[in-house]
Structure formats: C-alpha cells, structure tokens
Structure 1
C-alpha cells in the first residue's frame, strides 16, 4: 500500500504558499499586451515586455506560479535527455546549435535576473547527467554526447557519477543549475507590478476574438482589448491553429524525502529507462537535503493504478537510496510536441497579433524563460536568431516527424471514436454501488455518460462525463481525486470544476 499518510503536496508550494490573491478585473480594460497564463512562460513574457515599456496584464485562472510551474522539478538545464542527436538528424547541425544556444542563454539570463533583482531562490550551479544502466544503450549516449558538444554544450561521455548505484554510461553537461521556481517567479511578479504591469488571479479567459485590437472575454463577462495576446496556458486553450494535433500530454509523479547532506548526489540526473527516473536535490534543513525523484509517466486519463505507480517510484527510490521517509508527493504534467521542439511564436499562419508558448516536453524552466525573451522580441519587432526553429507554423519538421504525429493522433482517435460507442473505453469500471470512498467511475444514466465520484463520507457526486474541450470521456484518477481526459490532458475536480486546460468550462452537474 502507498504511504500517503504524513505526506504533503508540492514542496515548492509548501515552502512558499500563495498569499492573498490578486483580484479579478471588475470592468473592461485595454492594454498593449494581454498574457493568458501565470506560469513561468507567461510571467517571463510579461516581465520582459514591461521592461521594454509595454502596458501588460497577466490573467491567471487560479494562482500564479502554482499550476504546472508550481509542480515542476525545477531543473534549469539545456541538457534535455536525448534531444541533440535527434535534432542533428531532423533539423540539421544548425538547428541543434540554435536550440542549445537558446537554452544556454535562458540559463544565463535567469542567473543574471536573480542577481539583478536580488532574488534568494536557492540558485545552485551544478552539472546535468543523462544516464543509462543498460549497456545496449551506451552507443546512444555516446552519439548524444557528441551531438551536444557539436551544438555548443560543455558535454562529455562518462561512466562516473555520484549516484549510489553503477551506470553503464552518462552524458555529463556542466554549467547547468537548479532553483526554487516559486521564489524566483514571485519575485519576478513583484518586479512586474513595480514596473506598471498588472496581475489578475482567479480570472479564466474563455473567449478570443482576433482583430485590431484583439478582444478577450473572461468567465465573469469582462472584456479585455489588447493589440497583442500571448496564450501561455501550458496546453493552448484556443485550438484554431490545431496545435492539439501536435501535442501529447504526459503526467509524471514526484516523491521527495530528506537525506543527509553527505549522501546527497551533487548533480541533476535523468534516465529514459524505467518509464523515466529523474533525480535532484534541494536545500532542506538540519544538515539535510531534500531528494526529489520523478518518474512513472503516463497519459492523463488512461491509468487507474496511479497509487501503484507511486508505490513503484517509492520502491525504486528505496532500493537505490536506502530507507527513505517520504515527506512530499505530487504530480506534474507536460506536453510533448510531435518533433520534440517547443511551439513558441505566432499561433497560426493568418494571425499577426496572437502568440503561443507550449510543448516544452518536461523542460519548462529554460523553455519558459527562453519563450519569454523570444515572444518579447517578436512583439516588439526585434530579430531573434531562433525564432524560425520554434515557430508553431513550421511544417517541414512535422512532415519529417510524421510517424510520431500519426501515432499521437491514432491514440486520440481511438478515444474520440471509441468513447462514443459501447463498450465504454479505458477498461472495466466498477458499478456505482461498488464504489469505495474516494473512487470514481463512468456509467450510463438516462442515455448519457455520467461521471460519478463517492467522497470520503460516502456521498455520491455526479457530473457530465464528456470533456468540455472536445468531448472525449474522462476517467478517474483515484490517487489525485481528479477526472482526467485521455485526449488532450484536461483535468477536473470531483465537482466538475476545471483544474487544468485546455478545457475552460466545467463538467456540468448530472442527476443519477
């Protein structure tokens, strides 16, 4: 059984919890740039634009830096598992160099920003490693080390690490970093406000009309006019560019436990083996560091055994690091683009004023900072060497990566079609009478699919079972008490309220 008792959620949120929320706008307003989403990409973009003299407002549906950014592992690294050899083959040597340069400059820019603003964000310079234990994958790592070095990273192949277990090989990249993401971003938000930027929390944007100006509509009926709009909602909430056909959501689990400082690994580690295992540490207390381990990735809405996945991750951690006392556990969600390169730039070919930042594939810290600088350049008319690399309108790379693109869409199609004919998708589901407290299931009632949850007091709660984004059937995640859509990763609370997009409207209540 999983050891949930005694564990809390995200360490970043626990150590810097949200304060009083910034109020939602009470009347219509006009700004130069409206940024939708208060994570690292949205706040970085807004901060850069304010420094260039633009009047900017940020609209966050929940609390800033508390969504995906508040649940990251917070590696500030240009070493993204096994990306450079793939880029060298798919985008050429110049594409790999531009990717490396943009990510390295994001690290340097974050370090300079923390110094300039005097941010105490637990910044630590360290090395990043991608390792494998299976010898058959060593040639893959040697090729990655060579490609990363050619791209401009301080990279080398090695068999030596400070992990407490042997590895067959690793790519080591120096001059990388790790930090406390909320300490960094909350200071950035304060600087943004001092510079004249505006922040609105509890403000969900539900409509966009493109034009000159563009007009946004919130769930409270407020209208925002803006010359330019940035959609930085992790998964784009507006699908007019059909980006949902090029993005695959992935959810991963995180556990954390204190270890003696002398036993803590110095570097940041990741392996593509074992459904991914990522390891880093953070400053803790009493001569200890907090060991953070991430892995067990899965598509949201496709796994009813999330608790077992937490157990598997905990078991792996204890086999390799000793008898750990798990103090925190949470989950994070990322979106992978079909060609592994983020989508940052104009939203679609016909727009001139709507921009997007998405598809960071688990590397949102450097990706978000890079996106902020790139979008600021695009909006203010400055040249950026890597704008073409990240342009969401690119076609050639999608054609080259057609196999992954088709695989992604076949998976979505199975749910989209299969959820509309019996039997219900996602395997066997317990009948309502057999639901244990804390569990949920999808049933047919009155000719409609209904999502039913039994709370800890035994009371049943029923909501519509079709995701309000594109109508796929949701599935219940027992470990996190959430309804999840397997098509594009939208997540809903048991009462139907939106936890995570691209859906912007809740699941409506239903009668059984």
Structure 2
C-alpha cells in the first residue's frame, strides 16, 4: 500500500448482489428476535424459521457486510492448533465434541446449499496447518494425533501444494471454501420467503429481559419477542461481563488473480510470521485464473501501523506467487475467547429467554453454522450433545485458563491508564488523511483532517467503557484497543460492542 492508500470493501462484498431490506418503521411482535445479520445470526434465523418460529432479524448495517463479509471464508473443523490443547484442557470427550459439532455443521450447510440450490462457489479442499521451522514439527505431530482421535480425517504430511517447502503440516481432508455473502444472501431471501422479517439500518439500543423480552431500536420502534439472540460478533448486551473473556484481534487481507496453474489447491495457515493464511477462489469466466486470498499481520485494534502490515503481507504474497496483481485489500476482526472455545448459549446465568453467540476466534464460518444449530435446539427445547462445551456460563475452564484471562485484563488496564499518559501532537501538524488523539482545553479529542484539509473532531472516549480510541490510518477509522469498538471519522459506530457514536466536538 502507498502512504495514502486505503483498504476498501472485500471481494465478497464487491461480487455479490446487494439485496437491501427496509429499516424497522413500526412496533413488531415475533417469537424470536435475532440481533445481527452475520453468519451466526442468519444461520440461527433460518433454522428457527424452518422450525416454524416467527423471526425478525435486526441489523445495524447491511446483511452479511460486517465481519462475515470480510472473512477469508474457510469452512473447516481444523482450527490451527486446537485439538491437542482441547484434549489437555477438556479431555478427549471435549475434543471429540468440538470436532463433531464443527463437522456436522459443515455437512448440514452442504445440505442447505443443495436444498436451496445456492451458487456460492462451494468447493471441497483439504485444510492444512503448516510450519517452515523444523522446531514446530513435534507440535504438529501431536496436533495430528489429537485431531484424528477426535474423529477428523487428519494426518501429518511433509508435502503440500504451496510453492515453497514446509517442515511439516497437519492435513484434514474434505473441508470447504465458499463465497460467504452469496450463501448468506440466499439464506436471507429464503427467510423472507418463509415469512421472516429482516430489517437493516436498525440498531438495537436497549434490551429488557422478561416474558416476553422487549428491544428498543434506533428507529424508535419496539420489538417484542419471547426469545432474543445476540449475534453481533462482540455482544452489544453483556449481562455476564463476557467482554472480560474476549480479546479483539484485527487481521489484514490482500487478494488478486493468479494463473490457475499456480493454485496451491488447499486452504493453508501458519502461526509463523505473525500468521499467514492462503486460499484461492474461482475468478473469471473461463477458469484460467483463480483469486489468491492471503491473510495475516494480526494486531490489536487501535495499535500498530496497519499500512506497514499491508506492505509486509503484499510483499510476502508477491514473493511466493510471482506475478500476482493484488487488486483487493481489506481487513477483518476476530474475538478470541480466553479459554479457546466459543461462547454460545444462554446470555448469562439467570437468562431464560436470551442467548448469545460470540468468541469464534477467527473460525466464524463453521462456528456460526454450528451456533445456528445449537441455539435453535435450545430455543425449541431439543437436546444438543455439545451444549455444555460451548455454554457461556461455564466456570471450570475459565479458572483453568486463568493466565490468559489475567493477561487480557492487564492489557486492557494498560490501555485504559497508559493511553491517557502518552504525548499528543499539535493539531496543526496533522496532514490530510491522518488522525490523532490530541489535548484540547485539558481534555482529549479524536481529531481527523480530511483530504480537503477540514478538521473533524469527536470525543476520544469510547462509548463502550471509556477507553481512549486511536486512529487506523489504513482504514481511516477510530478504534478502541480495549474491546475492539470501531468508529468512522465522524464518530459513527462501525463495529461494536459500542452502540452509541462518539460525540462530536468543536475545535
């Protein structure tokens, strides 16, 4: 990326039709209200609609345009190095349930694709976790054994389709890659065809639990529902303090066409080099090219220099796939649970009709599909074998993995206090296209100078919990390093958990 170049919409958003849905304009009563129209929310809504429930999906932005619209879209039960860890922390049965829940969700989705006749570029591929440094081979061998014991078709291999040698890899066969937005737009159409409601540009700002529950929205309308599902990636309503068990991570993506002969014919990931993930997708009409998608350079929102990360990622892609023209760049965001396993189930210990799906740790495609099946079973009163594994109310695993929890809280505290002590530049020094947190009359303002030279000033305090935001110059957005909330240059919420904008200020 050049110094002033910005990242933009993902390839998935640019290449799928934009089916728009109206904002909620009047009060509504349904069996289930689903907050969030990403993969977890839409999969849950579709399953519930098919089960005969009346459902309303409420989305602050556009359907499948948030985190789901910026994913790498690998649909796999192989989640880097997870099964050996699960075997140690959850036992062999916990690892088996995790593998089974993810795999059954994938195969169920394959049936849905066939049932609805969705053209979403559904392709079977092997998934690989690899290392180039020989010191990581024994860890991979242990992971291959644990994944195989958990029920996955896993093996340790030393040869892959990558254009460079590897020291070793875990291969899991029969996994999937697809076009996520094409799939989810098809689900949305079918939800509406079955009598469901979808409302975009409708932010839910209040939740009153009870029998029934009531939601207040940014449009002034109220939604009454027996059950409510919070599927906003990071919970916008957090009665169980789940934010203490989630850490946000932002990751960069570059993509562009390569000759079909350069296709590595698999989905690859390594934790080396600050993560490198590789896959391809169909590109063009004649099959002579594929779209290379490379992901990596993860960082905490509101920290670091994403522009330098884009440069490193682009250089890596060009080194290993000579001639690739990187025509797309974007970024995505993930929430990592401190104890490895996603949080899907009742919203808090006293919840009777409120549910949550969050903490997918970068594997939201299979995780969101799994969440749709799990939450539907809980809401309709069916049994689900893996409910206990994902239950947000679990305590034993949280205590067992206390070091991760304490590390996350220490980082949050460091930002909450330390960011208030850092020096600030003078407003006059801000060049066009840049932003910074500056001191004005003893307070802190987030100030951005647009390309025409005009200043835009907003409060620097995140409306979620009061941490100071910082400027992401690559995406021209204000980001909170504590819990990942993101705002545009005028303070409008781009990504939660914040639901209120940064207040505008005069400067």
TM-score w.r.t. structure 2 length? 0.98
Q: How far is 1:261 from its partner?
A: 0.3
Gaps of 5+ in 1: none
Deviations 1:234-268 (A, max 9, x none): 00001211000000000000000110001111000
For 1:363, the equivalent position in structure 2 comes to 363
Partner of 1:232: helix, strand, or coil?
strand
For 1:292, the equivalent position in structure 2 comes to 293
* Structure 1 residues 15-54: aligned runs within 5 Å: 15-19=15-19, 21-54=20-53
Q: How far is 1:120 from its partner?
A: 0.5
Cα distance in 2 for partners of 1:414, 1:446 equals: 24
For 2:455, the equivalent position in structure 1 comes to 460
For 1:57, the equivalent position in structure 2 comes to 56
**Greater mean alpha carbon deviation, residues 240-249 or residues 7-16:** 7-16
* Distance verdict in 2 for CA 1:204–1:370, change over 3 Å: same
- Are 1:415 and 2:415 an aligned pair? yes
Deviations 1:334-392 (A, max 9, x none): 00001110000001001101000000001000000000000000000000000000000
* Distance verdict in 2 for CA 1:244–1:79, change over 3 Å: same
* Structure 1 residues 486-497: aligned runs within 5 Å: 486-497=481-492
C-alpha contact 2:122 2:179 (8 A) present in aligned 1: yes
C-alpha contact 1:2 1:308 (8 A) present in aligned 2: no
Cα distance in 1 for partners of 2:482, 2:151 equals: 37
Partner of 1:233: helix, strand, or coil?
strand
* Structure 1 residues 326-475: aligned runs within 5 Å: 326-419=326-419, 421=420, 423-424=421-422, 429-475=424-470
Q: How far is 1:229 from its partner?
A: 0.3
**Greater mean alpha carbon deviation, residues 6-15 or residues 107-116:** 6-15
For 2:324, the equivalent position in structure 1 comes to 324
Partner of 2:274: helix, strand, or coil?
coil
For 1:90, the equivalent position in structure 2 comes to 89
C-alpha contact 2:258 2:291 (8 A) present in aligned 1: yes
- Are 1:130 and 2:124 an aligned pair? no
* Distance verdict in 2 for CA 1:4–1:268, change over 3 Å: farther
C-alpha contact 2:23 2:219 (8 A) present in aligned 1: no
Cα distance in 2 for partners of 1:4, 1:12 equals: 24
Gaps of 5+ in 2: none
Q: How far is 1:429 from its partner?
A: 4.4
Cα distance in 1 for partners of 2:9, 2:151 equals: 37
Q: How far is 1:430 from its partner?
A: 3.2
For 1:107, the equivalent position in structure 2 comes to 106
Q: How far is 1:223 from its partner?
A: 1.1
C-alpha contact 2:24 2:219 (8 A) present in aligned 1: no
Cα distance in 1 for partners of 2:167, 2:56 equals: 50
* Distance verdict in 2 for CA 1:476–1:6, change over 3 Å: closer
Cα distance in 1 for partners of 2:6, 2:258 equals: 17
Cα distance in 1 for partners of 2:424, 2:271 equals: 31
Deviations 1:112-150 (A, max 9, x none): 000000000000001000000010010000000000000
Cα distance in 2 for partners of 1:284, 1:431 equals: 47
Partner of 1:238: helix, strand, or coil?
coil
TM-score w.r.t. structure 1 length? 0.97
C-alpha contact 1:250 1:299 (8 A) present in aligned 2: yes
C-alpha contact 1:2 1:310 (8 A) present in aligned 2: no
Cα distance in 2 for partners of 1:3, 1:302 equals: 17
Deviations 1:278-330 (A, max 9, x none): 00000001510000000000000112x11111000011111111132111000
Q: How far is 1:447 from its partner?
A: 2.6
C-alpha contact 1:149 1:155 (8 A) present in aligned 2: yes
